[in-house]
Amino acid sequence: MNDFLDWARDLSPVVAAAWLFGANLVSFAVAMALGHLATHSLSRHRVSLPPDPLETRELLYTAVGFVVNWLITIAAWFLWRHGFVVIRRDTGWRAWLDVPILVLVMDLAMYMLHRIVHLPWLFPIHRLHHHYDRPRPLSLFVLNPLETLGFGLLWLVVILLYPSSWLGLSTYLGINLGAGMMGHLGVEPFPGWWSRVPVLRQLGTSTFHAQHHQDVHHNFGFYTLIWDRLFGTLLPTYDAQFGHPLAVPPADASHSV
Ligand SMILES: [Zn+2]
Ligand SMILES: [Zn+2]
């Protein structure tokens, strides 16, 4: 792995950008393929209504978001190459400890940023993502580019401040993509008893984020429920409605009669 890190650090900027484009593209394709596989094989476990037909603008925002994420990874490579970001090379228990550290720190930072973009004067930026209250795997990437940039900068700040191992950092990036994809499946891959088991019940689920798309006042976290529990924003009926779509709110129901 050390040879690979040396090789990657010494690439020319153009070649590094091309490799990062490929790595981002493969990650995107794998996540989408697994997402669609889960959506189709678990269609009897829907936690939100089936999505509306795909709109062209969803594809456009996804393409723009892809470019923003690519630029963020180029910036990270550049900062690493010039010594501003430190990536440790140890592989023992300390390296694995970086996984929960990065997950919890990023979860708190993203929870706070998510609460901020729900403030009335910033919500217009976030409204696009909430337009899709019946998420599909692609919805993970349908964000205002400013929002994608904001989350990317947050990650850059964390890796600038915290010298993680390559093991911890790459595992975290996998968890980030997997958790984000799971939150937009529209189906729940975990069994009904999941939300009643200690420790497991603290982890983010498809139900958890699907509920946020149906009720914008609750469930702002991403990887865990810890910060929502701590700050009192977890949907009170999360456990009771785990694995099921939210009931239609009374206000909406009144429109339909
Ligand atoms: Zn979402
Ligand atoms: Zn939101």
Ligand nearest to the CA of 117: 2
Task: List the domain range (segments joined by +) for residue 48.
Answer: 2-249
Ligand nearest, relative to CA of residue 222: 1
Residue 254 maps to a domain:
no
243: left (phi over 0), alpha (psi -120 to 50) or beta: left
Which ligand gives the minimal distance to the CA of 216?
2
In a domain, residue 255? The reply is no
Q: What's the gap in Å between 222 CA and the centre of ligand 2? A: 10
Which of the residue ranges 170-184, 197-211, 241-255 would you say has the lowest mean pLDDT?
A: 241-255
**pLDDT for the residue numbered 253:** 37
Looking at the domain assignment, is residue 257 inside a domain?
no
Residue among 246, 53, 67 at smallest CA distance from 136: 53
How many other CB atoms are found less than 10 A from the CB of residue 229? 14
Would you say residue 60 lies in a domain?
yes
Tell me how far the alpha carbon of residue 24 lies from the centroid of ligand 1, in angstroms: 20
Average pLDDT of span 50-71: 95
- Indicate if the alpha-carbon torsion angle 178, 211, 118, 36 is positive or negative: positive
Residue 139 lies in a domain: yes
CA of 5 to the centre of ligand 1 (A): 33
How do residues 113-156 score in pLDDT, each as one tens digit? 999 999 999 999 999 999 988 999 999 999 999 999 999 999 99
Longest dimension (CA), the chain: 67
Does a structural domain hold residue 256? no
The whole-number pLDDT of residue 245 equals 87
Which pTM was predicted?
A: 0.91
> Average pLDDT over the chain, rounded to whole?
93
Total domains, the chain: 1
For residue 44, the CA-to-ligand 2 centroid distance in Å is: 26
Residue 74 has pLDDT above 90, yes or no: yes
Q: What is the pLDDT of residue 2?
A: 81
Note whether residue 10 is domain-resident: yes
Each residue of 82-112: pLDDT tens digit? 999 999 999 999 999 999 999 999 999 999 9
Between the CA of 210 and the centroid of ligand 1 the distance, in Å, is 7
Residue 212 Cα to ligand 1 midpoint, Å, equals 7
